[in-house]
Amino acid sequence: MRIKSFTRASLLMLAVACCLPSAAQTSRNAYVVGNDDDTFLALREAVRRDDAAAAAMLADRLPNYTIPSYVDYYRLKARLRDASAADVRAFLTRYEGSAIADRMRNDWLLELGKTRDWTTFDEQYPLFVLNDDTQVKCYALLSKAIKGQPTAEEARGLLTAAQNYGEACPALIVTLLQNGQFTVGDVWAQMRLAAEAGNTGVARRIVLLAEVPEALVMQAIEKPDLLLNRGAGAGRGAHEAFIIALGRSARNDPQAAANALQRNAAVLSASERALGWAQIALQAALKLSPDAMQYWRLAQGAPLSYEGCQWQVRSGLRAGDWQFVHAAVDAMPQPLRTENTWIYWYGRALQAEGRSRDAQLYFQSIAATPGFYGQLAIEELGEKITLPPRAAPVSPDEIKPMQQNAGFRRAMKFFDLDLRFEGYREWNWELRRMNERQHLAAAEFARQNNLLDRMVNTSDRTQIAVDFTQRFPSPYADIMRANALPLGLDVAWVYGLIRQESRFIMNARSHVGASGLMQIMPATARWVARKIGMDGFTANQVNDIPVNIRLGANYLKMVLGDLDGSQALATAAYNAGPGRPRAWRATLQRPVEGAIFAESIPFAETRGYVKNVLSNATYYAAMFDSQPQSLKARLGSVAPKGFVASELP
């Protein structure tokens, strides 16, 4: 889960949001805030609310603030649309090489793209260090396309997730079609991506390029069954809209969409039918329907989205069709094929085909990579999971530069203000310039300051010099043992879950309201407290560490018992609620490996969560037991309804 603290900073922001004046009403005496920290938080909120007048007034109150670069940033950010190039350049010069300067360059590049100031954009873009903004990348390609430079292939590689397009990416699509680098087929491919993501804004921006009425495509997205009942119509535009409607309708009822496609098959070309089946297959796969395999086979040859490519493989895994898995991974775009996930499953497909020597090469290529699929690859090579030798401990002399690091000091100030996003940005910016020994020293510095999440994330970056005591801490061990052992819980598993849930941030709170180390929802906390007879429990106790661990451990025990002792199912239940893994299990046609169950969880967050928690637990067990471990044994098997764990092979 994304972690966001709702303590002092958030409460102040709520207060500011209620009383910040409009630009016309702003004056020096409009409202009163407390100390400089409160004023700074109010400044940040004023910028978020796009209130330049309030931001200027608040910034004036902070002439000697601890983090002057951010006061200057917010002052300029609030009026960036109207600021002169000289003002922005002065800021970038003053703070060149800092995280906040790169952030300002990101903001400015977006403004330069919107105003089509390509001369300045082209000058600044190579200086954008992180270059992690999809819209900025689209503007960069747009600048090249306007100059007549070939960009179509780069654009196709970039434009794969329509939810991140903003204004820039549709503008790029328009330009590429106008200068002949994109075809109408490319436009329809983007329209299907927009429909898949539910992004009607992107569809509206590019629909006219496809030379069809906007109302037709909007109906396909928003009221697909009406269009399907009317039929495919005549002409490419009508057929493409019909194909989009098939995918949208299949979200509710894949079989009904399949029936509509069959009724209209005669008026569609072979390639259009394949596209239609691909839209239906993706939605059936997301519903874990066994019919998905039939639809995927009918879709052979159709171009698939990245999501479609991955779910095609997952359907094959659930069906146990390794030949299909092999072909589906082969058909993936190169960026997907090189991911550890698909390297592992490709190796498994080769192994199932009797090509063990080839499979071993694939497993060897990822076995040294920490994490879920690296661990599984190790086991496919006939070994167990052990911990690598610990790097030499860092010395006080190595830690001293970390204590003096200005970026780390800014990060710690932000953590004190409960502004974790800004703190992470400053911390990670400094790590970019460090070698592995320095990463270990920075992680140890974080440990000394009880920033266990920074310790974990920083130490995770090393590849040769590794320290698993930093990567997998086990604080509050006495409290943990006192609560987990009487329940018969695997302590390694509980720690693996906490590491994923909160990274040991004591006051962590998720975007949905879960709290504390074990990220317990308020309703769940009350329910568990009643179940275990915790008299006098109040909501504000949930962040108390012993209480949080007690509630979380008991809830984990409950879901484990309800799900046949399967850690894979219980971990999914802890994240997504117990009803969902029961429903996912019920769709199985046969027992499957726990790894296949985990890979085919329909919710991306829960899918990653289960993999990470059980991978973490395997490392923790290796630490606690000082014995080689098996992730595959921990995952076990997951069977359809009617089976129990003891009956599984």
Residues 494 and 612 in one domain: yes
| Other CB atoms within 10 Å distance of the CB of residue 548 | 25
Number of domains in the chain: 4
pLDDT at 511: 65
pLDDT at 644: 54
Residues 228 and 250 in one domain: yes
The answer to whether the beta carbons of residues 230 and 242 sit under 8 Å apart is no
Residues 100 and 143 in one domain: no
Identify the DSSP state of 21: P
- Of 355, 387, 460, 383, nearest to 632 (Cα)? 383
Q: Does residue 350 fall inside a structural domain? A: no
Residues 496 and 630 in one domain: yes
Q: Does residue 374 fall inside a structural domain? A: no
Residue with tokens 């005591």: 469
- Of 288, 289, 322, 327, nearest to 309 (Cα)? 327
Residues 228 and 246 in one domain: yes
pLDDT at 22: 43
Show the CA angle centred on residue 290, arms to residues 288 and 295, nearest 5°.
100
- Of 351, 379, 613, 374, nearest to 500 (Cα)? 613
Q: Does residue 384 fall inside a structural domain? A: no
Q: Does residue 512 fall inside a structural domain? A: yes
Q: Does residue 324 fall inside a structural domain? A: no
Cβ-based neighbours of 415, under 8 Å, separated by 6 or more: 423, 451
The answer to whether the beta carbons of residues 374 and 362 sit under 8 Å apart is no
Q: Coil, helix or strand for 47?
A: helix
The β-bridge partners of 509 are 515
The answer to whether the beta carbons of residues 563 and 573 sit under 8 Å apart is yes
Residues 30 and 147 in one domain: no
- 369: alpha, beta or left, given left = phi > 0 and alpha = psi -120 to 50? beta
Q: In the Cβ-directed half-sphere of 299, how many Cα atoms lie within 13 Å?
A: 32
The answer to whether the beta carbons of residues 574 and 616 sit under 8 Å apart is no
Q: Does residue 402 fall inside a structural domain? A: yes
- 97: alpha, beta or left, given left = phi > 0 and alpha = psi -120 to 50? left
How many angstroms separate the CA atoms of 563 and 583, rounded? 12
Which of 127, 152, 170 marks a domain boundary?
A: 127
Phi and psi, residue 328, nearest 5°: -70, -40
Show the CA angle centred on residue 180, arms to residues 179 and 185, nearest 5°.
130
- Of 29, 34, 1, 28, nearest to 15 (Cα)? 34
pLDDT at 5: 38
Q: For residue 168, give both structure tokens.
A: 């820039």
Assign residue 445 the CATH number of its domain: 1.10.1240
The β-bridge partners of 637 are 593
Which of 96, 111, 127 marks a domain boundary?
A: 127
Q: Coil, helix or strand for 5?
A: coil
Q: In the Cβ-directed half-sphere of 437, how many Cα atoms lie within 13 Å?
A: 10
How many angstroms separate the CA atoms of 373 and 375, rounded? 5
Query: Cα 631 to the chain's mean position, in Å?
Result: 23
Residues 419 and 519 in one domain: no
Cβ-based neighbours of 227, under 8 Å, separated by 6 or more: 216, 219, 220, 241, 242, 245
pTM assigned to the model: 0.92
pLDDT at 477: 96
CA-to-CA dists, residue 564 to 380, 579, 630, 637, 646, angstroms: 26, 14, 20, 11, 9
| Strand 637-638 with 592-593, pairing | antiparallel
CA-to-CA dists, residue 40 to 37, 59, 60, 423, 533, angstroms: 5, 8, 11, 15, 44
Residues 461 and 557 in one domain: no
How many angstroms separate the CA atoms of 445 and 399, rounded? 6
Residues 108 and 209 in one domain: no
How many angstroms separate the CA atoms of 308 and 332, rounded? 10
DSSP assignments along 362-423, one per residue: HHHHHTTS-SHHHHHHHHHTT--B-PPPPPPPPPHHHHHHHHH-HHHHHHHHHHHTT-HHHH
Average pLDDT along the chain, 649 residues, taken 10 residues at a time: 41 45 43 82 96 97 97 98 97 98 98 98 98 97 97 97 90 96 96 93 92 94 97 95 98 98 98 98 98 98 97 98 98 97 98 98 97 98 97 97 98 96 97 97 97 97 96 97 97 97 80 80 93 90 92 96 96 96 95 98 98 98 98 96 56
Domain range holding 553?
477-647
Q: Does residue 338 fall inside a structural domain? A: no
pLDDT at 163: 83
Which of 288, 315, 342 marks a domain boundary?
A: 315
Residues 641 and 519 in one domain: yes
